[in-house]
Structure formats: C-alpha cells, structure tokens
C-alpha cells in the first residue's frame, strides 16, 4: 500500500477466517462492548473505533485498515450483493461477522435508521516524523481543533486536494469519534494523520525545511501572496475559539489573513482551512485538471 493511502500495513497474507454469529439482542455482551466504542474511554481502552455504512467499510478495507468485526443487517444481507461482498471480505480477513437485527444496528449507531453495515476497526496514526510531504506536498496542521465536524470536514477537504497528511497538535478532539468519522465521508482512511504535543510539533518544525504558513486574524499578509508552489508547505490553523496559540504563531514563517467584509469576526475553521488548502494547491490542481 502506498504512503498516500494512509492506512496501516497491508493485511497478513494468511489469516484464519473470522467467525460468523447471529445477534438479535441489544443486551448481548458483544453488542455492549461494541456500543462502548461510541465513548472515547471505550476507544482508548481497546484501540478500536466504529465506521458506519457500506461505503466507509469498503473504503477502509481497500486502504488496508485492519477490521476486528463487521456488523451487517441480517434482513438486508440476502438482497444486497455489496453487503455480501463486504461480509465475505471481512471473514476472509479474519474479522468476525455479526449478522444483526435492525434494533442492534440502531443501538450501536445511535440512530433510528442505521446503515446496513458497521465496521469495528483498529485505530491507526502515523508518527509525525513519518509524514512525508515530498518535494512539493502539503501538510495541514491543526492547533487544538475541538469540533468533530470541523475535523471531519478538514480531513475530507485535505483528501480532495491531495494533501499528504494532517497533524493534530495539542488537545484535539478524537479523530476516531463517530461524528468525526461520519464527517470525513471515508477520507479518514485516505489521509495519513499524526498527533503531537505542541512541544513535539515545535521540535519537528525546527527540522522542517519547507514553508510554514500560519493563519491568523492579525496576519499581515494576504493568503494569496505566499509562493506555495514547488516546495513542501505546512499550513497551520488555529483553534475555533482561541485562534492560533502564541508559540505556534511564532513558529510560522509568515502569518496570513483571508480578507473579510461584513460583520463576521472570523470564518469557520473548516471553511478557512478549505480556502487555504485550495489556494496552496492551486498550481498542482491546475496541472492535474489540465492532464485529465
Ligand atoms: N476568535 C478566534 C481568533 O481571534 O483567532 C477565531 C478563530 S477562527 C474561528 C479559527 C481559525 O480559522 C483561526 O485561528 C484561523 O486559523 C482560521 N481563520 C478563520 N478566519 C480567518 C481569516 N479571515 N483569515 C485567516 N485565518 C482565518
């Protein structure tokens, strides 16, 4: 699997096939354990997380993420070829298959109309030093992002623009929460993600030879002014409430601002990140579009 795919090492070539079980009661202990993954404590204790929906499950498997268990709708299984394909792949990869009632799926997904498949996967992060922007790639750095929807949207946007990784600095929201995974629409499986303390990030920054652009409400440079092309770039985005911390801002080569009119104090973090990513990738995306 390529670095770009972002997933962990490919699955073992020979694994014992997973077990198949039928589960109809929400009080089944297996269901209880899986439901605990909706909470951060459950995810931290097990190293597992949930991905809902057939598309996400297949995206994860295609990218080489290790599946522990697949829950599928027992009622929808006979009529859905895709569900059957996912179930077969899960069992072949060594994951357990749980054929569940709609009630069980709804309890795990915490939704009235659950999707027909929910995967339980092993969490995977890339060490910061292993994120490779290449000669002219982009890394997105988020300083204490707190909102799961913002983080999910940033991962999705970073994926769409071909960013080479996302770095979560300091006390960030859990990227493996149900809400974040949902908001990524599968991009969590495609973009390598690293987590670092502020101190570790600042040490990495001192070794990073590319351009570090911070976004700041008091930035003195228009966000379109820097030359982002032809070199590795790290875009640093601030916290939703507090903005970019002082030490983080001080570590940037330049602080840019996206011009605004009107009464809004600032842009939403995910919107600002989207504008920045597409500006920084403008020349690369133009070339990619021209060769299509
Ligand atoms: N009250 C915060 C402040 O004063 O920085 C607002 C934070 S804003 C909601 C979250 C982040 O989005 C900012 O730290 C910055 O990274 C980015 N951002 C939002 N609007 C921006 C703008 N007009 N120019 C540059 N960055 C912006």
Q: Give residue 166 CA to ligand 1 midpoint distance, Å.
A: 18
Look at residue 148 and give its three-state secondary structure: helix
Best of 267, 268, 270 for a ligand 1 pocket test (most atoms within 8 Å of beta carbon): 267
HSE-CB at 127 with a 13 A cutoff on CA atoms is 2
Condensed to tens digits (0 to 9), the pLDDT of residues 164-196 reads 999 999 999 999 999 999 999 999 999 999 999
66 phi, psi to nearest 5 deg: -80, 120
Q: Give residue 63 CA to ligand 1 midpoint distance, Å.
A: 33
Q: Which CATH number fits domain 2-122: 3.90.1310.10, 3.30.70.60, 3.30.1330.30, 3.30.230.10?
A: 3.30.1330.30
- Whether 2-122 shares its CATH topology with 128-290 is answered no
Find out whether the beta carbon of 260 lies less than 6 Å from any atom of ligand 1: yes
Q: Whose CA is nearest to atom 19 of ligand 1?
A: 267
- CA atoms of 178 and 49, how far apart (whole Å): 8
Mean pLDDT on 151-176: 98
Condensed to tens digits (0 to 9), the pLDDT of residues 59-93 reads 999 999 999 999 999 999 999 999 999 999 999 99
Q: Whose CA is nearest to atom 9 of ligand 1?
A: 240
30 phi, psi to nearest 5 deg: -65, -40
Q: What is the pLDDT of residue 14?
A: 64
**Domain 128-290 belongs in CATH node 2.10.109.10:** no
pTM of the predicted structure, to 2 decimals: 0.92
Domain coordinates of the chain in residue numbers?
A: 2-122, 128-290
Q: Give residue 182 CA to ligand 1 midpoint distance, Å.
A: 24
- CA atoms of 134 and 115, how far apart (whole Å): 38
């Amino acid at each position: 699997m390529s670095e770009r795919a972002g997933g962990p090492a490919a699955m073992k070539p020979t694994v014992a096939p997973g077990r198949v079980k039928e589960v109809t009661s929400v009080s089944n202990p297996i269901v209880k354990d899986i439901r605990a993954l909706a909470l951060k404590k459950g995810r931290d204790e097990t190293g597992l997380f949930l991905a809902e929906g057939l598309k996400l499950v297949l995206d994860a498997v295609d990218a080489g993420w290790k599946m522990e268990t697949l829950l599928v709708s027992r009622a929808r299984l006979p009529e859905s070829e895709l569900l059957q394909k996912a179930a077969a792949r899960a069992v072949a990869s060594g994951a357990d298959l749980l054929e569940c009632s709609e009630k069980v799926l709804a309890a795990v997904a915490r939704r009235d109309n659950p999707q027909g498949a929910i995967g339980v996967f092993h969490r995977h992060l890339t060490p910061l030093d292993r994120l490779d922007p290449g000669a002219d790639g982009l890394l997105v750095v988020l300083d204490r992002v707190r909102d799961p929807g913002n983080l999910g949207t940033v991962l999705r946007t970073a994926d769409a623009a071909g960013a080479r990784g996302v770095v979560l600095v300091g006390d960030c929201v859990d990227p493996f929460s149900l809400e974040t995974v949902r908001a990524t629409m599968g991009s969590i499986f495609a973009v390598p993600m690293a987590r670092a303390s502020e101190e570790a990030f600042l040490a990495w920054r001192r070794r990073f030879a590319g351009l570090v652009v911070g976004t700041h409400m008091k930035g003195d440079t228009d966000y379109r002014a820097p030359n982002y092309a032809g070199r590795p770039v790290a875009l640093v985005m601030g916290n939703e409430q507090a903005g970019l911390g002082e030490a983080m801002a001080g570590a940037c080569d330049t602080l840019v601002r996206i011009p605004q009119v009107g009464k809004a104090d600032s842009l939403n973090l995910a919107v600002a990140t989207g504008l920045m990513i597409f500006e920084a990738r403008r020349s690369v995306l133009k070339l990619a579009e021209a060769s299509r």
